[in-house]
Amino acid sequence: MGGPNNVVRWFELLAAALFTFELTHSGLAVAAVSAARTVPMLLLGAFSGVLSEAVNRKRIIVTGILITAASSLSILVLASAGLVQPWHIAVASFVCGSVWSTEMSSRRRMVGDLAAPELLSRAIAVDSLAGACTRMIGPLFGAVAYDVFGIVGAYAITTALTLSNLLLIAPLRHQQVTRQLSIAGTARDLLDGLRSAAHQPRVLAVLAVTLVMNMFIFSYSSIVAPIARVVFDAPNAMVGFLAAAESFGAFLAGIVLARRTLPIPPRLMMVGGSVLFAVTLFVMPLLPGFWTACLLLAIGGTGTAAFSNMQTLLIMKDAPPAMRSRLLGLITASIGTGPLGQIIAGALADRFGLTAAVMLLASSGCALLLGCGYLWGKAERAG
């Protein structure tokens, strides 16, 4: 079920970016439309962790499928009538992003809960592998579908894919002890989650690295379509290859992580993998050819596989069961800082050019990641 969800997410992101860029020729406008999909994670991410303890997680997922399908269908209808504008897509993206904010604490939490303790790391790795695979497939098909069928065809496909999730989740049985949801209780639960994170150096480190990666590194995705079109002079149908290159590398590395647990310290896996991708991202726009840039991002993608795997695994292993959804909600909120980075990326692209924007983001992110790694190591030695 996570597969179609992620395909739809990345499919729509790229199609929306191409449509917006063709209408506006503005990197900032493209970044704003992309950011609309992730800003709910910052606003609602922490709350989603509390919600998933009060409402059956399967019910949250089914409701989310219906909302996402309705949102995509609305764009399909507007596009069919020739009325769709970038701001319509931004509103629909915000709605879909609100559903996406429940992903970590609901669907991914269910994956961890269903796995036997001795297979937890491999179960998380398989889920991360599926995520990398769909992040690769989504942009590739999104670019081709947009080039062949336009915005109407792109959203017709995503509407159908979203509804297919109902068939996948129908036979799933999920037993869960729920708690009463109240405004006062929600605030208390959020504070409990923050206190729990504050007393766990590993959890704090995961939150910090996640924040840096989404604000400074992954934010390049909001301008990847203009980069492919302008910097490398690629046609629409080929834009997806650059957008999918990182996830292809993550997919290959994910296969290794799913087959065996590597004897590498978590700090080195998470920070080292993140730094590897930051470095390749810095170099990417300087390369002379499109396919060389794709290859380099694929190499860097092996590092994002390590980052993604550790992001969930460390929470599921280190946090008390009662706190896991709340802490995963905080992870979602950290991911939600991405829109700020996406807007910064777009503004830098309009002011200094696409190449300089990517290099400034990557170098800043790399420096902060190294700082996180240093503080993480210091906390482990002190403990």
The answer on pLDDT for 186 being more than 60 is no
More confident residue, 140 or 22: 22
* Prediction pTM value: 0.70
Q: Is residue 173 part of a domain?
A: no
Identify the band that residue 3 occupies on the pLDDT scale cut at 50, 70 and 90: low
Q: What confidence score (pLDDT) does residue 49 get?
A: 65
Q: Is the pLDDT of residue 272 over 90?
A: yes
Please give the structure tokens belonging to residue 372. Answer: 């996180």
Predicted confidence band at 79 (pLDDT cuts at 50, 70, 90)?
very high
pLDDT of residue 282: 96
What is the band of 358 on the pLDDT scale with cuts at 50, 70, 90? very high
* pLDDT confidence tier of residue 80, bands split at 50, 70 and 90: very high
Percent of the chain with pLDDT over 90: 25
pLDDT band at 175 (very low <50, low <70, confident <90, very high): low
Domain of residue 292, CATH code: 1.20.1250.20
- Residue 146: is its pLDDT beyond 70? yes
pLDDT tens for residues 289-340?
999 999 999 999 999 988 988 877 787 776 666 676 677 777 777 777 887 8
Query: Which residues span the domain enclosing 296?
Result: 2-168+181-382
In a domain, residue 174? The reply is: no
The per-residue pLDDT for 115 is 60
Q: What average pLDDT does range 40-44 have in this prediction?
A: 74
In a domain, 298, yes or no: yes
Structural domain includes residue 58: yes
Total domains, the chain: 1
Say what the pLDDT of residue 2 is: 53
Look at residue 312 in the predicted model and tell me its pLDDT: 75
Determine, yes or no, domain membership for 185: yes
- Whether 269 has a pLDDT exceeding 80, the answer reads yes
User: So what's the pLDDT on residue 198?
Assistant: 66
Of 66-70, 124-128, 138-142, 306-310, least confident by mean pLDDT is: 124-128
Q: 215 CB contacts (<8 Å, ≥6 apart)?
A: 337, 338, 340, 341, 344, 365
Residues 6+ positions from 137 with CB-CB distance below 8 Å: 7, 10, 244
Where does residue 108 fall: left (phi above 0), alpha (psi -120 to 50 degrees), or beta otherwise?
A: alpha
Q: Take residue 380 and report the two structure tokens written for it.
A: 């482990």
- Cα–Cα distance for residue pair 268/369, rounded to 1 Å: 11
Amino acid sitting at position 314: L
Q: Indicate whether 175 belongs to any domain.
A: no
Statement: residue 230 has pLDDT above 80: yes
Amino acid at 186: T
Band (74; pLDDT cuts 50, 70, 90): very high
The stretch 212-221 carries a mean pLDDT of: 90
**Quick one: average pLDDT of 95-124?**
70
Mean pLDDT is highest, among 9-18, 242-251, 274-283, 340-349, for: 274-283
Q: What is the pLDDT of residues 49-68, one digit of tens each?
A: 667 666 777 788 888 889 99
pLDDT tens per residue, range 289-298: 999 999 999 9
Residue 295 lies in a domain: yes
Residue 136 lies in a domain: yes
